[in-house]
Amino acid sequence: MLRFLTAGESHGKALVVIIEGVPAGLPLTEDDIAVDLARRQKGYGRGRRQKIEQDRAEIISGVRHGLTLGSPIALMIQNRDWVNWTEAMSVDPVAGDVEKVTRLRPGHADLAGAVKYGFDDVRPILERASARETAARVAVGGVCKALMREFGAAFRSHTVQIGDIDAPAPGEVDWDAVEGSPVRVADATTEARMIEAIDAARNAGDTLGGVVEGRVEGVPIGLGSHVHWDRKIDGLLAQALMSIHSVKGVEIGSGFAATRVTGSRVHDVILPRQRWSDAPWARETNNAGGTEGGITDGQPIVVRVGLKPIATLPRSLPSADLRTGEEIAAHYERSDVCVVPAAGVIVESMCAIVLARAALEKFGGDHVRETLRNFHAFRATTGPRDLIE
């Protein structure tokens, strides 16, 4: 079973990852992981922190001569900003008093976390609750993308909304234009309006949320299962995506729009073999977003996630003090104005983690050769039954 753990605080020494269950023989280098770490740091509306950090995951173990060993993979991402926080985030006891954060931020983990863990200082909560942790997940996603490429899968994302500005729904997305856009949209007019909205929010001391869409092409049919609630692939995707910081809603396929029309307009008609191209089974549409009955159906996975505006506002909201309960302005620490463009990369990573785990559950194998042999043998059985028998 593929599993991973992350550790580390936002202003601690480093983020650390351990990944277990990756088969031996998978080509993997630090450069493979670096691509998405760099993409995550881009995006209009990011804060000053991104100018300090230059995220790169160092592979500590589990890889030899560019190939995975089948043993746990350990990764470390140094926090360059640590040098400015050596006393505040010291592992060892420090002499004297360290300033405590007690001004609670509405919308963050501050109050609930401090009460749950019994702290009189919000610092231990906000450090781990920070979205800085997603850099570690993106590193894991880089490993999982490398594995899913062996099955022919490709991961993409783009922005479909920032604030109240919607991007036009294209028939085909110009992915090169998306990657070149500071807000990750293909339409130049929409890009300009989104940048203007982010600037307005920054000038007002405010923040903006939005919606990103992730797409995964080349996902094999048969990942996940209908037999239990915790094996349904759409449920696993939704849980993984909801775990991303600031995400408050997830749709798969047409999502809530499907509730407004009749079933005859929603369900994806299965085409006869005369209309197939090179893949077994084809559909007229993909309203289901690549899953049916908790199982991937061979269509592209399409997910959308809604992100609330981040909770750390330069123009602090009214709040209360953790120690006294008295009214006070919420704490402010340097932050982003809008994380929506960067969130697409994290969405891709979480999808890759879920799908890689499901693929290994389905096809098994201690070496990539064995895994792919099982995959190709299964794929040979996915056509109409009379062609197999």
Can you name the CATH fold of 3-388?
Chorismate synthase, AroC fold (3.60.150)
pLDDT for residue 389 is more than 60? no
pLDDT band at 383 (very low <50, low <70, confident <90, very high): confident
pLDDT at 302: 97
Average pLDDT over residues 201-224: 95
Give the span between the Cα atoms of 323 and 155, in whole angstroms. 46
**Which of 41-50, 76-85, 219-228, 263-272 is predicted with the least confidence, judged by mean pLDDT?**
41-50
**Which of 4-18, 48-62, 210-224, 370-384 is predicted with the least confidence, judged by mean pLDDT?**
48-62
Give the span between the Cα atoms of 153 and 235, in whole angstroms. 20
pLDDT for residue 385 is more than 80? no
The residue behind tokens 């919606």 is 211
**Which of 77-86, 244-253, 353-362 is predicted with the least confidence, judged by mean pLDDT?**
77-86
pLDDT at 48: 62
pLDDT for residue 297 is more than 70? yes
302: closest CA among 128, 169, 114?
Answer: 169
Cβ count near 154 (within 10 Å): 15
pLDDT band at 184 (very low <50, low <70, confident <90, very high): very high
What residue type is 353 in one-letter code? I
- List the structure tokens of 206: 């405010």
DSSP character string of 158-178: EEEEETTEEPP--SS--HHHH
Per-residue model confidence as pLDDT tens digits over 68-124: 999 999 999 999 888 889 998 999 998 888 889 999 999 999 999 999 999 999 999
Give the span between the Cα atoms of 163 and 170, in whole angstroms. 19
pLDDT at 332: 82
pLDDT at 285: 92
Per-residue model confidence as pLDDT tens digits over 17-56: 999 999 999 999 999 999 999 999 888 887 665 566 679 9
Domain residue ranges in the chain: 3-388
Average pLDDT over residues 363-383: 94
Average pLDDT over residues 221-249: 97
pLDDT for residue 226 is more than 60? yes
Q: Residue 6: what are its φ and ψ, rounded to 5°?
A: -115, 155
Give the span between the Cα atoms of 229 and 267, in whole angstroms. 22
Give the span between the Cα atoms of 88 and 84, in whole angstroms. 9
Q: Measured in Å, how far apart are the chain's first and last C-alpha atoms? A: 32
pLDDT band at 335 (very low <50, low <70, confident <90, very high): confident
What residue type is 63 in one-letter code? V
Give the span between the Cα atoms of 166 and 171, in whole angstroms. 15
100: closest CA among 129, 121, 119?
Answer: 121
pLDDT for residue 388 is more than 80? no
Average pLDDT over residues 337-347: 95
Are the C-beta atoms of 250 and 241 separated by less than 8 Å?
yes
